[in-house]
Structure 1
Amino acid sequence: MNHVVLFQRAAVAGITALALAGVLAAPALAAPRPEPVPFSAYTGVERIPETTDPAAAQAAADHWTPEAMRAAVQADGPAASVQAAAPTGLGPSAIPPVWRTQPKPATSGRPAAGAPAGPTTTRSAGPAPVAATTHLQAQVATTPTTGLPTVGALFFDVGPVHERCTGTVINTGSRNVIATAGHCLWNRLTSWLPATVMPTPVFVPGYHDGQSPYGKWTVKTRYYASAWRNNLNPDYDFGFIVLNDLNGKRVQDVVGGNAWRTDAGSSNSVEITGYPDNRDQPLQCFTSTQKYGSYASQLVFPCDNFHTGVSGSLLMQGFNSPAAGLGTAIASLGGYQEGGNTDNTSYAVLWNGSTATLINSAVNGQ
């Protein structure tokens, strides 16, 4: 969901861009052992390394106490109450047009400038896709739950404000990758500032009511498409995070991982679990998708009460059962309007070859 309005408060408090750089070596995958792929083989990929220092990682996790996580629940309020005036000289007229205008989604499936490209040995993982459906339900109720092991809240601070997105563990050879929205990693803190890297989050799988049943996982590296960074192209509003180990284990070994696939088509029956920031439990929705207008990669679907915070939730085909809580990811909640400007109609970016390449770059680049 669109975070720009919520970020107005913290931007006025003096948030500045973080200067990040550096490249880490790429390890080989475990058996069957392919040839190592250097990260330099990829183009159209933005890579933000964080920290592997145990003390720094522990401090980041400790910051998110149960009280702090509960405080990330934002009460609804009039949009005008969080709209902030731009300081003198920093209004929209002072911002270059490329930062002021987000492009429309594409009507063709051709890659945009800055689309991820490079060695892609894995385009899909897990079970075969289920049969598609052409039926879109008029309105779909959501159900509060106590969470799923592979789905969690991404907590981050924007100045004094606690915020969050949603992240989900996906199956990869490295067993330490979660998926979210591109705008949860790179976005505008306010409508009158250029986009910048978002604050580093902490991932809490299965989060509910201040609890972290599977631990708090810190970030090693973040990945998103150059096509998203360049001008917030809504067809590339997906991102992936490599997590540090916790107590000597990879996150996928602790909570499991979801299958994923590309090019699933526009009509699908899906399950979605996300963390709206106006409540302290995740909401689960079973719904159907359809193509949004003439846009090639944009899906639209109804789910009640999907407030800001569900950004980055994955659309799951073949969700097997609430107990196991696993499915096959086909899309990220985001894209058009960064996922939607209303609580009952949402949008998602269909995963495609560029998504697969970005996942591969995260696995190989670590």
Structure 2
Amino acid sequence: MNRAVKRLITLASALSLSLVALPAAHSAPGTYWTPERMRSAVPLDTLTVSPSALRTTVATGAPTTIEPLAFPNGGSAWTGGGAVVKTAGRVFFTYQGRNASCSGNAVTSANKSTVITAGHCVKLDGAYHTNVAFVPAYNNGNAPYGTWNARATYATPQWDASEDINYDIGSIVVGQVGGQYLTDVVGAQGIAFNQAKADNMYAFGYPAASPYDGTKLVYCSGTTFNAFLSNGIGMTCNMTGGASGGPWFKTFSEATGTGTLNSVNSYKINFFPNWMFGPYFGADAQNLYAKAQAA
């Protein structure tokens, strides 16, 4: 992300030849992330940028306007149950000396230990976060399926190099808990790449900034559209800080709570607070996933 964009961030705070991975500093399970620390973690806000700052990232010929949307779900507590209740969770970490939170989701992987989130949920302002952990099915300080500490965190090369909002994708590889692998305990969602941008999708997360409090899994649903100021996709959604990194699903079934992950909550534009944007899952996202699941 260039300096102009960084100044405009508000925080409540291809085939690439390489991916960046750093060991995640963390305490033993159950020692650092106590219920009290989880409840008091400040949400890392969804990045909020100005249209003028993002315009420089748009490819020549990209559209600059879109048709107004209808009014799909703007953000409601998920009460449908199903697999997503266990595969989605909150991501906790220490950022610049404070405890903070995002969202993430466990995906099908060879190592049974891979969580997909946003790039800024693993690294921001030039440094990787520490004390990174994933808490599936988080419930107001409770971790019904355990607290899964990261053993490595990954980001796309573009995010690592310049925090480019077009590649705001990260991954967390967690260690075992009680001798078990993450997805053996909570299940996993599928993941896909190089898909059509316009589709019916569901976005999930644990927004923790007002009017939400981080205690509930929240979702939005609707037809996605081409992001007109980046190469990503957009959806009508009013989730707030803490939702960053939460999964966007194609072919989502409300009956079973299963879908195919195809983006994550990434940023908002300050002129359009009811729209959420996510990065396009192309070759770079696929490389990131391949690297993480092989770790």
TM-score range, shorter chain: 0.7 to 0.9
Q: Which residue of 2 aligns with 1:226?
A: 157
Identify the match of residue 201 of structure 2 among 252, 270, 277: 270
**Consecutive unaligned residues in structure 1, runs of 5 or more:** 8-41, 80-100, 110-133, 189-194
Contact in 1 for aligned 2:25/2:132 (Cα 8 Å): no
Residue 277 of structure 2 is matched in structure 1 by: 347
Of the two, which has the highest radius of gyration?
1
Distance 2:33 2:130 in 1: 14
Alignment check: 8 A CA contact 1:135 1:267 kept:
no
Could you tell me the TM-score, scaled by structure 2's length? 0.80
How far did residue 159 of structure 1 move?
A: 5.2
> Relative to structure 1, is the Cα distance of residues 363 and 197 closer, same or farther in structure 2, using a 3 angstrom cutoff?
same
Paired residue type of 2:169: F
Q: CA deviation at 1:263?
A: 1.4
User: How many aligned positions are there?
Assistant: 265
Task: Indicate conservation of the 8 Å contact 1:220/1:242, yes or no.
Answer: yes
Post-superposition offset of 1:145: 3.5
Q: Once the two structures are superposed, what CA deviation does each residue of 1:180-235 show, in whole Å capped at 9, x if it has no partner?
A: 001111112xxxxxx22223321100012222111100001111122112111122
Report if aligned partners of 1:273, 1:314 keep a CA contact under 8 Å in 2: yes
Could you tell me how far 1:136 is from its partner in structure 2? 4.2
Question: Secondary structure of the residue that 2:195 maps to in structure 1?
Answer: coil
Q: Which amino acid aligns with 1:240?
A: S
- Deviations along 1:221-255, one digit per CA (max 9) or x if unpaired, are 11112211211112211011111011111111111
Q: Structure 2 unaligned segments of length 5 or more: list them.
A: 1-7, 62-66
Q: Deviations over 1:56-87 (max 9, x none)?
A: 423xx32222222221266x9xx9xxxxxxxx
SS where residue 158 of structure 2 aligns?
A: helix
Shift of 1:139: 5.0
Task: Flag the 1:50–1:69 CA change in 2: closer, same or farther, 3 A.
Answer: closer
Q: Distance in 2 between matches of 1:3 and 1:340?
A: 10
Q: Which residue number corresponds to residue 24 of structure 2?
A: 50
Separation in structure 2 between the aligned mates of residue 333 and residue 202 of structure 1, nearest angstrom: 18
Instruction: Give the structure 2 partner of residue 243 of structure 1.
Output: 174
Q: State the match for 2:241 in structure 1.
A: 308
Structure 1 residue matching 2:292: 3-state secondary structure: helix
1:156 paired to 2:93: yes
Alignment-derived partner of residue 92 in structure 1: none
C-alpha contact (below 8 Å) 2:72/2:221 kept by paired residues? no
Q: Secondary structure at the match of 2:134?
A: strand
5 Å-filtered alignment, 1:96-115, equals 104-107=56-59
Alpha-carbon offset, residue 108 of structure 1: 7.0
Q: Which moved more, 1:242-251 or 1:354-363?
A: 354-363
Please give the secondary structure, in 1, of the residue aligned with 2:28: helix
Are 1:64 and 2:33 matched, yes or no? yes
Match in the other structure for 1:318: 251
Cα separation, partners in 2 of 1:315 and 1:343, compared to 1, 3 Å: same
CA 1:160/1:303 → structure 2, altered by over 3 Å: closer, same or farther? same
Does the CA-based 8 Å contact 1:105-1:298 persist in structure 2? no
Q: Deviations over 1:16-71 (max 9, x none)?
A: xxxxxxxxxxxxxxxxxxxxxxxxxx73310112369xxx423xx32222222221
TM-score, normalisation: structure 1 = 0.66
**TM-align CA RMSD:** 2.8
Match of 1:62, SS state, is: coil
The 5 Å alignment of 1:31-180 reads 43-50=17-24, 56-58=27-29, 61-72=30-41, 104-107=56-59, 136-145=69-78, 148-158=85-95, 161-180=98-117
Amino acid of the residue matched to residue 62 of structure 1? T
* TM-aligned CA distance change 1:285 to 1:102, over 3 Å: closer
CA distance in 2, matches of 1:340, 1:182: 18
Counterpart-to-counterpart distance in 2, 1:4 and 1:201: 22
> Identity of counterpart residues, as a percentage?
24
Residue 350 and residue 256 in structure 1: after superposition, are their counterparts in 2 closer, same or farther (change >3 A)? same
